[in-house]
Amino acid sequence: MPKFENHRPVKHSAEDMYALVADIETYPQFLPLCEALTVRSRKERDGKTLLVADMTVGYKAIRETFTTQVLLNPAERAIDVKYIEGPFKYLDNRWRFEPNATGSGSMVNFYIDYEFKSMILGALMGSMFDRAFRMFAEAFEARADKIYA
């Protein structure tokens, strides 16, 4: 039931921001709460890439791993994440990257909707996840500043 949506202007190109977010194996290096990420499978077809990945998130003594299917679509600068298994009832995550009309920088659009299976886990991790999702945009922008500076 928690939802979070963010539309953030950044100084980097839509292509650069797409590439940064699409590089999911690097998430543990800079993304809040992400402790590990393993790609189980990767399939290329029609210019798109379909990944199945396990992500481990942690906060204090709590650790949870969940599996998602990630569709990378560079032609549309779109990333769609669908939930497969783990502690959620459901999880829907979408990224869109649009060039700014001014020709410099881009708009990063992030959307996530999720609910934990367990009300107890939701109570324990819910507010922390909300804070983390708010920090994600900043973490990606800081990473872009470091890589593309």
The SS3 assignment for 95 reads strand
Could you state, in order of their start, the residue ranges of all structural domains in the chain?
Answer: 3-148
CATH hierarchy code of domain 3-148:
3.30.530.20
Q: Is the dihedral of CA 29, 34, 37, 43 positive or negative?
A: negative
Q: What is the pLDDT of residues 106-134, one digit of tens each?
A: 999 999 998 888 887 777 666 676 777 77
CA gyration radius for the chain? 15
Q: Is the dihedral of CA 79, 44, 15, 38 positive or negative?
A: positive
Q: What is the mean pLDDT of the chain?
A: 91
- pTM to 2 decimal places: 0.91
Closest to 87 (Cα-Cα) out of 41, 51, 32, 128: 128
Q: What is the pLDDT of residues 5-22, one digit of tens each?
A: 889 999 999 999 999 999
Q: What is the pLDDT of residues 56-110, one digit of tens each?
A: 988 778 888 999 999 999 999 999 999 999 999 999 999 999 999 887 899 999 9
